[in-house]
Structure 1
Amino acid sequence: MPSDMPQPAFVLVRPQMGENIGAAARAMWNFGLDRMRIVAPRDGWPNPKSVAMASGAGRLLDEALLAPDVPGALEDCSFVFATTARPRELTKPVYSPEAAMKLAIEKIRGGEKVAVMFGPERAGLENDDIARANAIITVPVNPEFASLNLGQCVLLAAYEWRRQAAEVEHEVFEIGKSDWATGVEVEALVTHYEDRLEEAGYFFPPEKAPGMKVVFRNLFSRMRLTRADVQMLHGVMRQMVRWKKMSDDS
């Protein structure tokens, strides 16, 4: 079983090579992290090559949460970092690994569940993945050779966690009478709004609809929503739809 030590989950999104998954597990365990999540690995799961490369950290692979997609991997998380070296057109706060792990400590001390996403080896995270994150982690590397392999990127983040955290203790953090919204709750809210806006013809013209939806989702990920906020926004949309139907009938 994973340890009881409060810590972020490291989410490997569509990793391509078993060796790199094993290297990531080894890097995590070097610094006391053991909550690995794997999204749609290219070569299937389990992967014997990952076990050989893990070199003593095979327990992390055995206990890793396997998810079919990014929303499934993040459904219980209320704050998500995305690692990327490439400039993005999405508006988000950008942190160094050091600053990101300091923030992760604060969030976890406040009772939140934090995740750090790492993209596939060939091209990294896609915009649709990053739109689900609350913030970006970028490593200050040589701009003429910015590519880090998966194991290296995980190692940097894990090292900064260990260096910043030492030992993290739970603290109770009251948010009025509510809690922070989880990934699955925000996902349901965004889907609710997308469906109703689709019916209203908002995502037009059709060829621009996918990009508009990514920007729309990114808007929600930048907001810190509580469960009460989510319930209120669901209610706002339901009332608007109800009002429109009443207006059409009258």
Structure 2
Amino acid sequence: MTKSPAIILVRPQMGENIGAAARAMLNFGLTDMRVVAPRDGWPNPKAVAMASGAGRVLDEARVAESVAEAADQCDFLFATTARARDMKKDAYNPEEAMKMARKMGGQGRRVGILFGPERTGLENDDVARAQAVVTVPVNPEFPSLNLAQCVLLMGYEWSRGLADAAPPPETAPDHATVIEVERLADHWEERLETSGFFFPPEKAPHMKRQFRNFWSRMPVSRSDVQLLHGALRQLVRRPGG
């Protein structure tokens, strides 16, 4: 059975938009909602009222404090964004992205899709954690999409190709999960911080973001992650320790 994607709402601002996103999800059979640091807290009565018949999506929604926590058990992240970013990532339109998601879902891999706050969209640090971005070819003079509209569009593209999705292979690829890559990035960032690599201090945030972007783009397996953890431990081990 093809695994459906997780819809990850990052710092959503209005309960009504969360409820509308839940309705859009259930329209296309999506039920895995994850909410990162909602501005107005959780549970949200306005979200429940707006969700109408899709209340069960909210009932089962997972609330997280960070993108990394919300991406638990995901193997691949798409970040939805309307503007160019100062980082190298593969970019797809919704049709292409959801075709990839169906292929990965057929392999037993879980895909997560990041949606940013209504006013500002995803921050660069959020996008840096994704393996690829999704952009919608809208009117350049008015590129803004409502949160629920964006969720609806991705859900539609996901569902319309399900009938033709390829059956899963006998052996699924041994790709590292998002959280495994996140822990590897944390390990390297911690060691580089200790060694004084991030210098001068005012450039440190950009340098760290570039590293996160690097790790997220790299297609690593679980054994690769273990190897890189071990190599780093050996590099920083003191002689005779």
Check whether TM > 0.5: yes
Partner of residue 84, structure 1: 81
Question: Do the aligned partners of residues 173 and 5 (structure 1) sit closer, same or farther apart at CA in structure 2, a change above 3 Å counting?
Answer: closer
Q: 2 CA distance for matches of 1:152 and 1:116?
A: 14
Counterpart pick for 1:193 among 170, 184, 188: 188
Q: 1 CA distance for matches of 2:199 and 2:6?
A: 37
What letter matches 2:219 in structure 1?
R
What letter matches 1:25 in structure 2?
A
Q: Does 1:57 align with 2:54?
A: yes
RMSD: 1.4
Partner of residue 109, structure 1: 106
Q: Does 1:222 align with 2:217?
A: yes
The answer as to whether partners of 1:25 and 1:57 remain within 8 angstroms in 2 is: yes
| Equivalences, count | 239
Residue 172 of structure 1 deviates from its aligned partner by 3.5
Q: 1 CA distance for matches of 2:164 and 2:28?
A: 12
Q: 2 CA distance for matches of 1:62 and 1:170?
A: 30
SS at match of 2:192: helix
- The aligned runs of 1:1-250 (5 Å cut-off) are 6-166=3-163, 170-175=168-173, 179-242=174-237, 245-246=238-239
Residue 224 of structure 1 deviates from its aligned partner by 1.2
Question: Do the aligned partners of residues 61 and 167 (structure 1) sit closer, same or farther apart at CA in structure 2, a change above 3 Å counting?
Answer: farther
The one-character-per-residue Cα deviations of 1:129-162 (angstroms, maximum 9, x if unpaired) are 0011000000000011001010110010001001
Give the TM-score normalised by structure 1. 0.92
The answer as to whether partners of 2:108 and 2:172 remain within 8 angstroms in 1 is: no
Q: 1 CA distance for matches of 2:52 and 2:71?
A: 27
SS at match of 2:79: strand
SS at match of 2:7: strand
Residue 170 of structure 1 deviates from its aligned partner by 4.5
Give the TM-score normalised by structure 2. 0.95
Q: 2 CA distance for matches of 1:64 and 1:5?
A: 20
Which 4+ stretches in 1 moved above 6 angstroms? none
What letter matches 1:186 in structure 2?
V
Q: 2 CA distance for matches of 1:100 and 1:47?
A: 31
Residue 5 of structure 1 deviates from its aligned partner by 6.2
The answer as to whether partners of 2:9 and 2:114 remain within 8 angstroms in 1 is: yes
What letter matches 2:191 in structure 1?
R
What letter matches 1:173 in structure 2?
T
What letter matches 2:171 in structure 1?
F
The answer as to whether partners of 1:23 and 1:50 remain within 8 angstroms in 2 is: yes
Greater alpha carbon shift after TM alignment, 161-170 vs 110-119: 161-170
Residue 173 of structure 1 deviates from its aligned partner by 3.1
What letter matches 1:208 in structure 2?
K
What letter matches 2:216 in structure 1?
S
